Structure 1
Amino acid sequence: MLAHPWAGTPLGPPETWGPALRAVVDLVLASPVPMALLYGDDLVLLYNDGYAELIGARHPTALGRPAAEVFADIWHEPGNGDVLERAYRQGESFLEREAMLPADPHLVGAAEPVVFTRGHSPVRDSAGRIIGVLTVAAQTTQLTQQLQSLSDFAAALSGTLTLDDVARVTLGYAINSFDADRVDFTVDEGGNWRLVRRIRGELLDEADERLPPLWRRAPADSSAPMVVTARSGVPFYTSDGQPLRDIAVDRHDQKIRALAALPLRSSVVRGALSVGYQAPHTWSPAERALLTASAELVGQAAERARRFETQHGTAQLLQRSMLPEQLPDLPRLRIAARYDPGVDGNAAGGDFYDAFLLPTGALGVVLGDVAGHDVQAAARMGQVRAALRALALTDPRPDAVLGGLDRLVSSLGAEAGTQELFVTVVFGVIEADRERITLASAGHPAPLIRRCSPTGEPTAEYVDVPPGAPLGLGCRPRTATVPFRPGDTLLLFSDGVVERRWQDLTSGLSGLARAVTAAGSGDPRALCAVATAAVPGATEDDVAVLAVEHAVKPSRSASMEVPAEPTAPSRVRHWMTAQLSEWRVPEAVVGAAVLCTSELTTNALLHAGTAARVEIDLSAERLLVSVADSGTRGTVTRAQTDTLSSRGRGLGLIEELSDAWGTDPTVRGSTVWFEILIPAG
C-alpha cells in the first residue's frame, strides 16, 4: 500500500497527509483485523492485509480507487453504498451484521458470497470535519457486539474535549465491551503518572458521571504494569497470576489474576489502557486486536484532549485575567457575574464586564463585547475595560464615558489600520440611595430589569435605552434614567445569551424575559445561571452576564477557609450548623444546606485536591451557599482520600434539596453554589 502512487489520487503524496489522516492510516495498517479507510468525497480506498484477503481478487487494483468503482456490482444494493455515503455525509455510525461481497474462490472454496460483519464510523480531522469512513470487518459473527461497541466508542471519543472526558468514555466502554472486572486509564503528568480505574459493580449514577473522575497518582518509576507499559510502549499480557500484588491498594487490586495493558501510542501523551479479570483469562488474537484498536482510538482522543487542555487553559487564563477577580461587596447591592466562552472554549474572546465604586458613592456597571475570538480581541477588550473605568472615575456620566470610549476605539482602529474594530457596550450608574439607574448604550442589547414588589408577582422589562451606534463609528450616546427600587434586579448581558442562528432575535429576547420572570428569586447569582440557560441550543458566541440586585434588607454573610484534610467536611458541618442556628434559620433549611455543603466540600477536596472556601449569604428571601476551589490536583494524598466521606451523589443532592444551583468558572478553579428559599413566616 505504501508503494501505491497516491500522488495521482485525491489524497496526494503521503508526505502531505495531515496528522489525523496519518494516525488513521497507521491504525489501519497496524491492525490484524480487516480494516479500510474510505477517504474524501469519492471514498477512495486504503486498507490493510486483512481487508485485502477479504475482498480477494479485487486487490490490489482496489487501492486508491473510489469504492463505488471497486464494488460497482453491489454498490447500489441496500446496505452497501448507501450506508457508507450516509456515514460520510451525515456522520452516522452503522453496523452491518450480515454484509455480503462476492467471494474469492481461493478463500472459501466456491464462488459463494461471504457473510461477515462490518462496522462503519465517520473519521474526523483535528478541526472536527469528517474526512472519511473507517470500516472494520470480520468474517464471523462472534465479535458483532464488540465491533458495534468499537464503532460507538469511536463516535463517543470524537465528542470528548478533556482528559477527564476521555477517561470517562474509555472506562465505560472497556468495562462493558470486554466484560471486564476492572479497567484502568493511565496518562503522564509531568514527571509522574495519574491513573483512574473502574471496578465492575461500582454504583455510578448520572450525578457521579458528571463529576470529574477520581484520579490517583503514581511515581515516575512505578512498577505498576500499566505504568510500565505507558513508559516503554510495549504491551503487557498475563493470563494467570497476581499482576497487581506489589502495587495493590485494596482488595480489588489483589483479586486480579489476568491483565492486559496496551500503550496509547501518541506523540503528545504517554499512557496506557488496561483490562483485568479476577479469573484466569486467555487473550485470543481477536481480543488482542480489539484491545489494540481501542488503545489506538484512546491515544488519538487523549492527544486531542491534551492539546485542547493546554490551549484552553492558556486562553482562559488570558481571558479571565482581564476580568475582575472580585466584585464589590456592598450591603444593599448584591452583585454577581458569569462568563462562558463561546466556540469550543479554546480561544480568548472579547466579552467583558465590570462593576466598581465611583467617587460619588454610586456603583458603575458595564458589559461590553469586542468582536473576535482571539488574543487580539482579548487584548482590545482589556484596553477598553481599563479605559472605561478610568473615564468613569473622572466623569461618571454614562454619555460622557461612552463618548470618550468612542474616541479611544476610533484611535485604536486608526492605529491598527482597520475599520473592522467593532465594539458594543452598555454602561450604567446605580444610585441606591436615590433608587435609580442611569444607562447609556453603544449598539448593545438593552438591559433587563426584574421588578418584584412585596405584594405582586415578578415582572421583567427591557430598559428603553437609546441604542446609539457601536463605538468607533461616531457614537453619540444618550442616557435613560429609570427607577431601581429595593427588590429589583438589573441584568446586563451579551448577545450570545439571546442570539441563535435558527431563530430571530425577538424570540431570544422574549425567552430571556420569560425565564427571568419565572425565576424563584431575584438573587443575582441565580439569575446569571437562569439567563445563560434561558434560550435553548448552543451558541458559538461568548456569553457574559452581570446582575445587580437592590436588596430589600442587607444580607448577613460569613465564610470559612477549608483545609485539604480528611476532617474538613466534618468541620464545615459543625461551623455551618452553628452559624445558621445563630441566625435563626429554619431547621429544615439548615439540614438541607449543611448536607449539600458537606457534599460539595468533599467533592472539591477529592476532585480539585486543594483547600476550599465556603461562603454563606443569608437574606430575608433565601440562603446562598458557594464552595470554591483553586482547581489543581494532588494535594490530598491517597491515604487521606480513603478517609474522606464517599463520593456520594453531591450534584444529585443539590438538585433535590435546593431551589437553584450552578457552577461558575473563576480565574483559577471553579465555584459550585446553591440557593434555598426561606419559607414565608
Structure 2
Amino acid sequence: MPGTVGRVPTPPPAAPGPAPVSQVAATVLAHPWAGTPLGPPQRWDPAVRALVDVILSSPVPMALYYGDEFVLLYNQGYSELIGDRHPDALGRPAGEVFADLWHTPGVGDVIERAYRRGESFLQRESMLPVDRHLAATGDHAVFTRGHSPVRDSTGRIVGVLTVAAQTTQLTQQLQSLSDFAAALSGTLTLDDVARVTLRYALHSFDADRVTFAVDDGPGWRMVRRIRGELLDEADERLPPLWRPTAADSPAPVVVTARSGVPYFVGDGEPLRASAIDRHDQKIRSLAALPLRSSVIRGGLAVGYRTPHGWSAAERALLAASAELVGQAAERARRFETQHGTAQLLQRSMLPERLPALPRLRIAARYDPGVDGNAAGGDFYDAFVLPTGDLGVVLGDVAGHDVQAAARMGQVRAALRALALADPRPDAVLTGLDRLVASLGTETGTQELFVTVVFGVVDADRGEITLASAGHPPPLIRRCHPDGSATAAFVELPAGAPLGLGCRPRTATVPFRPGDTLLLYSDGVVERRRQSLTAGLDVLVTAVADAASGDPRALCAVATGAVAGATEDDVAVLAVEHALKPSRSASMEMPAEPTAPSRVRHWLTAQLTDWRVPEGVIGAAVLCTSELTTNALLHAGTAARVEIDLSPERLLVSVADSGTRGTVTRAQTDTLSSRGRGLGLIEQLSDAWGTDPTVRGSTVWFEILIPAG
C-alpha cells in the first residue's frame, strides 16, 4: 500500500470505479455451461454463484472442480498457471484436461480426497509440471495449493475449490538469501558490503533499481545499481560509485535510515523529490528498509518501474536481507576504523616520497597481510648519501602490533643516521645490530627479531654493494642487448638477524644501465604448505618474464607472483638503472567536473612536444581520462597526475588523497562518463595497477614505446 515517511510524497488515491473484467473472466461468462454438469448460469445454486464471482474477481489462481467429473472453471491466474491447456480446459473434466498428470501422486488423488471425504487439504511446496512445455523440458514449478470441499446452499458437497500459489520465486529467493549470507561473511569493508548487496538484491528481487546508503559524518553516502548497467571485472575491483548526500535528503533510503521505519509504495512516484536522472524518475514502486545496527545507520531500497504489490513474504525476505546487510555493515565499519588507524600508523613511518634521480628510477609498495587490522613491522627506504650514491633498504621487524611498528620506526631512523655517517653496508648493519641488542635488553625481551638488507647504488661506476642480516636475497633483472631479460638472486651471505651478534659480509655486483634491483620481504614468497624455495623460483621467473624493468611494474609483478593469500605484510622496493634519463611532468588536477578534459589537453600537448608516437598518445589519453574520472568519482578530491617517459616506456599515474569529499559544483552524475571501464586500460596498456600511499591511493599504467 502507498505510504509516507518524512518528506517522501504520497500519490493521491485512484478514483473509484468498476473493477475491470479480465479476458479469462469474459471467456468463462460466455462459455456454454448448459452443456456441462454445472448447467446454465441462471440456474446455478446461489452458493455456487457466489463462489464463482469470488474466483473470477480474485488475482490469486483459483479453480473449481465441479461434480463427480470435476468439470473445470477457473480464473485468469489459474489460466496462466496451466499454460497452453487454456482455453480448452474450460467446462471439461479435469481427468481429461490433465490426463498426463491426473494419476500422478499429489494431483488427482488430493482432489478426490477433498471431494469424497469432505476434508480440506494443504499441499506445501509441491513440485508440479503444470505446463506441457515445462514438463517436456524437465522444468518444474513449485506450488503451495489448498483444496477445500465446495457445498451448495443445502450443505451438499458439489465440488472442490483449489487455490494455488506458485512459490518457485520465493524458494529461489530463500536459497539466494543463504548464498547472500555466505557472501557477506567474506566482506571486510563497506565497499565490499555494497558490491555484494547491490549484486544480490538486483538479481534476487529481479529489481530495476537498488540503493544502499550509510551514514558519513554529518551526511550520508549512497550507491546504486540499475538493471542493465554493465560493469566489467576491472570495474568491480574499484570501489563502488558512492554519492555524497545531504543529511536532510528526501531520498526514501535516507528517510528510512534516519527514522528506522520501513517504507513501502506500491504505485506512485516515490523518488520524485530526490530523483537525479531518468532512471529514478521511472521508478513507480519502492521498498526501503533501515539497517539494524548499533554502530552504523543506513538503509537498503529496492524499486521497480511498474506497480508492485509488496506481499508479506516479500517484506519478510527484504527485512531478513536488511538484517544481514546491517550486521555486515557493522563489522565493516569496525574493521575500517581499526584498519585505518593501523595503516595510518604503518604508512606514517614509511617515506612519503622517494628520491627523483636522473639515471635511477625508484618505486616501492607496501600491502598489509590478510588481517590488515594491525600495524606491521615491514619497512623500506631510499635516500641520497653524502657521496651522491643512493642508499636502499628493506627490512622486517617481527610482529603485527603497535610495538612492532614503533620498533620499525626506530630501526629505520637509526639505519638512515648510521648510513649518513658511514655508508658502508657492513658498517651500517653492525651498528644496527648493537642498537637492536640494546633495545632487547632495555625492554627485557629476547624476542626482538629483525631482518634487513641494505645496499649502496653507485650509478657512475655501475655497481651495487649489498649486505644482509638474515633477509631473503636481493634479485636483479638484467636487460640484454637483444631485448631479452634474465633474473637472478644476488649471491649474498644472509648472516644472522640483527640483535644476535650479526657479522655482515658485503657483496659488490654489476648494476649496468637496463638492470633493475628488487628488494622484498618474506611475505612476497612465503605461503602455507609451500616451500620457500618454490616461492623464490616463482618470483625469479615472474620478474624475468615481466614486460619491462620499470620499478613500479616490477613491484606489482612481485607482489602478485606467488599464488595464494599471505598472512604476512608485503613490502617491495625496486630501483632501475635507466638506459637514458627519463623525462617527467606533473599536473595538479582540481576536484572539478572539467578536470578530466583539462588533463586530456595537457597530456596531449606534453606528449606531442616529446615526440611520442601518435598511437601511444591516443592510448595514453584515453586511459588517463578514465583514471582521472574515477579519481573524481571515488575520492571526490584533487589529484596529482604524473607522467614519466623513457626510451622504453611511458608511465602515467593518478594519485588521490583518499578522502571522500564533495566534487566541486557538480554531482557525480554530471561528470564525464566512466567510459568503457578499466577494461579499457587493460586492453590499451602493457601493465597497470593500484598502489596504496600514505594518504590515499595511486592508480597507474604503463605503455611500451615501439622500437624504431
Question: What RMSD over aligned residues (CA atoms) do the two structures have, in Å?
Answer: 1.9
Structure 2 distance, partners of 1:631, 1:226, is 26
Q: How does 1:251-650 map to 2 (within 5 A)?
A: 251-455=278-482, 457-637=484-664, 639-650=666-677
SS of the equivalent of 1:461 reads strand
Alpha-carbon distance, 1:466 to partner:
1.3
Query: What letter is aligned with 2:698?
Result: T
Select the residue among 166, 173, 178 that pairs with 1:151. 178
Letter matched to residue 565 of structure 2: A
CA contact 2:266–2:285 (8 Å) conserved in 1: yes
Deviations 1:436-485 (A, max 9, x none): 11111000001001111223621111111111100011111111111111
Measured against aligned partners, the alpha-carbon deviations of 1:323-353 in whole angstroms (never above 9, x if no partner) come to: 0000000001110001111132111100000
Q: What is the one-letter code of the residue matched to 1:183?
A: V
- 1:203, distance to aligned residue in structure 2 (A): 2.4
Task: Work out the CA distance in 2 between the residues paired with 1:425 and 1:498.
Answer: 16
Query: 1:643 and 1:180 mapped to 2: Cα distance?
Result: 25
Contact 2:592–2:666 (Cα < 8 Å) also in 1: no
Measured against aligned partners, the alpha-carbon deviations of 1:402-428 in whole angstroms (never above 9, x if no partner) come to 011011111111111111110000000
Supply the distance in 2 between the matched residues of 1:580 and 1:400 (Cα, whole angstroms): 45
C-alpha separation in 1, matches of 2:359 and 2:630: 32
Write the deviation string for residues 183-233 of structure 1: whole angstroms up to 9, x where unpaired: 111111111111111122222222322222112222222222221211111
Partner residue in 1 for 2:220? 193
Among 247, 254, 268, the residue aligned to 1:241: 268
Relative distance call for 1:192 and 1:500 in structure 2 (3 A) is: same
Cα distance in 2 between the residues matched to 1:111 and 1:635 = 61
- Residues 571-592 of structure 1, C-alpha deviation per residue, up to 9 Å, x if partnerless? 1111111111111111111111
Quote how far apart the aligned CAs of 1:116 are.
7.7
Instruction: Look up the match of 2:50.
Output: none
Q: CA deviation at 1:141?
A: 4.8
Letter in 2 for 1:555: S
Q: Distance in 1 between matches of 2:248 and 2:627?
A: 34
- Cα–Cα, structure 1 residues 671 and 172, in superposed 2: closer, same or farther, change >3 Å? same
Report the CA distance between 1:632 and its aligned residue.
1.4
Distance in 2 (alpha carbons) for counterparts of 1:585 and 1:669: 30
C-alpha distance in 1, partners of 2:511/2:393?
16
Q: Secondary structure at the match of 2:493?
A: coil
> Within 2, Cα distance between the matches of 1:221 and 1:150?
32
Tell me, in whole angstroms, the C-alpha distance in 1 between the residues paired with 2:232 and 2:477. Answer: 37
Q: Which amino acid aligns with 2:177?
A: L
User: Kindly tell me: are residues 259 and 640 of structure 1, through their superposed partners in 2, closer, same or farther at Cα, counting changes over 3 Å?
Assistant: closer
Name the SS for the 2:361 alignment partner. strand
Distance 1:113 1:407 in 2: 81
The amino acid that maps onto 1:575 is W
**Where in structure 1 are there 5+ consecutive unaligned residues?**
1-108, 118-137
**SS state at 2:220 partner:** strand
> In the alignment, which residue of structure 2 is the partner of 1:87?
none
CA distance in 2, matches of 1:648, 1:441: 48
CA distance in 1 between partners of 2:185 and 2:597 (Å): 41
1:558–1:616 CA contact under 8 A, matched in 2: yes
Distance 1:330 1:679, change over 3 A: same
Q: How big is the shift at 1:378?
A: 0.6
Tell me how far apart the structure 2 counterparts of residues 449 and 564 of structure 1 sit (CA, whole Å): 40
Q: 1:142 to 1:667 in 2, by over 3 A?
A: closer
**Inter-partner Cα distance in structure 2 for 1:141 and 1:602:** 43
Q: 1:116, 1:508 → 2: CA distance?
A: 54
Question: Which has the larger Rg?
Answer: 2
Report deviation, 1:633.
1.6
The answer to whether 1:657 aligns with 2:687 is no
Following the alignment from structure 1 to structure 2, what is the Cα–Cα distance between the partners of residues 480 and 113? 82
- How many Å separate the matches in 2 of 1:259 and 1:638? 30
Structure 2, unpaired ranges of 5+: 1-118, 128-143, 146-166
Give the deviation of 1:153 after TM superposition.
0.6
CA contact (8 A) 2:232 2:677 kept: no
Task: Tell me how far apart the structure 1 counterparts of residues 433 and 263 of structure 2 sit (CA, whole Å).
Answer: 65
State how far apart, in whole Å, the 2-side matches of 1:114 and 1:243 are: 36
The Cα of 1:254 is off from its aligned counterpart by 2.1
Alignment partner of 1:676: what SS?
A: strand
Listed one character per residue, the Cα deviations across residues 47-80 of structure 1 (whole Å, up to 9, x for unaligned) are: xxxxxxxxxxxxxxxxxxxxxxxxxxxxxxxxxx
Q: Identify the residue that residue 222 of structure 1 maps to in structure 2.
A: 249
Structure 2 match to 1:68: none
Letter in 1 for 2:299: A
- Matches of 1:203 and 1:440 in 2, distance apart? 52
Q: 1:456 to 1:250 in 2, by over 3 A?
A: closer
Q: 1 CA distance for matches of 2:536 and 2:126? A: 54
Would the aligned equivalents of 2:355 and 2:384 in 1 still touch at CA under 8 Å? yes
Q: Secondary structure at the match of 1:609?
A: coil
Go from structure 1 to structure 2 and tell me whether the alpha carbon gap of 1:648 and 1:456 turns closer, same or farther (over 3 Å shift).
Answer: closer
Per-residue deviation, residues 381-410 of structure 1 (Å, max 9, x unmatched): 000000000010111111111011011111
Q: 1:115 deviation in Å?
A: 5.8
- Quickly say closer, same or farther: Cα 1:276–1:410, change in 2 above 3 A: same
1:286 aligned partner, one-letter code:
A
CA distance in 2, matches of 1:253, 1:485: 60
Q: Which residue of 1 aligns with 2:23?
A: none
Contact map agreement 2:593 2:666 (CA 8 A) in 1: no
Deviations 1:141-175 (A, max 9, x none): 55211011101111111111111111111111111
Q: Does the C-alpha gap of structure 1 residues 483 and 316 become closer, same or farther in structure 2, counting only changes over 3 Å? A: same
1:269 and 1:597 map into 2 onto residues whose CA distance is: 36
Of 379-388 and 558-567, deviating more is 558-567
Partner of 2:22: none
User: 2 CA distance for matches of 1:618 and 1:225?
Assistant: 50
- Return the offset for 1:243: 1.6
SS in 1 for 2:512: coil
Bigger mean CA deviation after superposition, 638-647 or 302-311: 638-647
In structure 2, do the counterparts of structure 1 residues 637 and 156 end up closer, same or farther at CA, with 3 Å as the change threshold? farther
Q: Which amino acid aligns with 2:675?
A: G
Could you tell me whether the CA contact under 8 Å between 2:452 and 2:469 is conserved in 1? yes
Task: Decide whether the 8 Å contact of 1:661 with 1:675 is kept in 2.
Answer: yes
SS where residue 553 of structure 1 aligns? coil
